[in-house]
Amino acid sequence: MRYISDDNKVFNTEQECCEYEQNMKSQRIQKEQLERERQDKLCDINKKYEELQKLLSEYEKDYGVKQMPYVAPFYEILDMLCG
C-alpha cells in the first residue's frame, strides 16, 4: 500500500509518511519563528533609530550645535542583519 503526504509525496509506509509530514511541519514552524524574530529585531532597530534622531534634534535645539555622528545607512544595517 502507498501513502501520499499533504504535498503529494509518495511513501511505502504510513510511518514514513507521518515522519515526513512531522518533519515538514517542524521546519515550517521554525521558519515562521525565525521570520517573526527577524521582524521583531527590525522593528527594534527602527525604534532605536527614531529615538536617536529625536535625541539629535533635541541636542541641536538645546545647544545650537549640530552634532552629526556617523550612523550607518538603514540599507547597510539591513544587509548586515539579512545578508
Q: Which residue has the higher pLDDT, 54 or 64?
A: 54
Give 8-63 pLDDT, tens digit per residue. 888 888 899 899 999 999 999 999 999 999 999 989 988 988 898 898 888 888 88
Cα distance between residue 66 and residue 54, in whole Å:
13
Query: Which residue segment(s) compose the domain that 13 sits in?
Result: 3-82
* Structural domain count of the chain: 1
Q: Is the pTM of this model over 0.75?
A: no
Cell numbers 545578508: residue: 83
